[in-house]
């Protein structure tokens, strides 16, 4: 595989990193999606939380409209399983005091021991789960 095949992922990673740093510098907030979404649901910091969540949803839609193509996406799981998975992720983010975006992107970059441990647990549990359900050999 050529280096050019990795450029979209590299560009996406750079944009995520820039957005996380910008949010921290401008608002003094960690870009933890679960925390931002939780504050939105609780009615706290409505304007900034709503802008962040809308950006997450509308950004890819606007990009696909601008590029005039849709990404190939197949969801082979039933809605009840997706809802259960979402609830379990939400429970896990509360249990772990944050999500992969807060811990894995900004926390690890800041050298937070708690974030390093949380990210290691996220990855190990993800690998174990993928192995158990047959996604990985």
At 66-81, the pLDDT tens digits run 888 887 778 888 899 9
Phi-psi category of residue 66: left, alpha or beta, with phi > 0 → left and psi -120 to 50 → alpha: alpha
At 103-116, the pLDDT tens digits run 888 888 888 899 89
pLDDT of amino acid 70: 81
- Out of 47-51, 78-82, 83-87, 94-98, which region has the weakest mean confidence (pLDDT)? 94-98
Q: What is the mean pLDDT of the chain?
A: 85
Q: Is the pLDDT of residue 20 over 80?
A: yes
**DSSP string across 109-125:** HTT-HHHHHHHHHHHHH
CA 54 – CA 57 distance, rounded (Å) = 5
Q: Is the pLDDT of residue 6 over 80?
A: yes
pLDDT of amino acid 124: 92
What is the pTM for the complete model shown? 0.67
Environment class of 119 (CB within 10 Å of its CB; exposed 0-12, middle 13-18, buried 19+): buried
Q: Is the pLDDT of residue 136 over 80?
A: no
pLDDT of amino acid 21: 85
Q: Is the pLDDT of residue 137 over 80?
A: no
């Amino acid at each position: 595989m050529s280096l050019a095949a990795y450029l979209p992922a590299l560009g996406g990673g750079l944009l995520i990193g820039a957005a996380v740093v910008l949010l921290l510098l401008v608002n003094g907030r960690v870009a933890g999606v679960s925390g931002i979404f939780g504050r939105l649901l609780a009615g706290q910091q409505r304007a900034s939380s709503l802008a962040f969540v809308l950006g997450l949803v509308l950004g890819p839609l606007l990009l696909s409209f601008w590029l005039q193509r849709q990404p190939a996406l197949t969801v082979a799981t039933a809605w009840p399983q997706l809802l259960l998975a979402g609830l379990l992720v939400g429970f896990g983010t509360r249990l772990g005091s944050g999500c992969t975006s807060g811990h894995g992107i900004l926390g690890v970059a800041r050298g937070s021991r708690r974030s390093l441990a949380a990210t290691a647990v996220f990855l190990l549990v993800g690998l174990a789960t993928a192995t158990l359900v047959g996604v990985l050999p």
